[in-house]
Amino acid sequence: MRGWHQTHGGQNLVQSVIAFQSISDHLAILTINTQMFTIYAPTETSPDSAKDDFYVKIQQSWDSIPQTDVILLAGDFNTNTGADRTGWEQTMGYFGHGVINDNGLCLLSFTNTNNLVVGNSHFQLPQKYQVTW
């Protein structure tokens, strides 16, 4: 990151960091004049207990932050939320892909419970950018 600072004015970014809290191997909170969750969720093939633990921790972390703050959740949720918005109209946009999987159901439930949206489902992208491997 040192080289990035020198060539991209990264010192301003470093100065805006207020706090960093590691919650687990899959979850951290970076406070940069706002709250930002950085996420790497368990994969679809992970044990259910790992997925459950992840969503318990993320909910506890979410609940610990003042809801007056601007809060960003960014990362790899390892999900497929699917293209069918039925029941998720407040959470999903019109541009989902494929068929929902178990991780997608967990993410949609979390976002719905907390009045959030799955941001990338609100942007129409070419198919090659809709899924990563």
Tokens linked to 44: 């679809």
Burial class (CB in 10 A: 0-12, 13-18, 19+), 112: middle
Per-residue pLDDT of the chain (133 residues), as tens digits, is: 333 333 344 455 577 788 889 999 888 888 887 777 889 999 999 999 999 999 999 999 999 888 776 777 888 899 999 999 999 999 999 999 889 999 999 999 999 999 999 988 988 888 777 776 5
**Residue that is written with structure tokens 């809060």 in the block:** 71
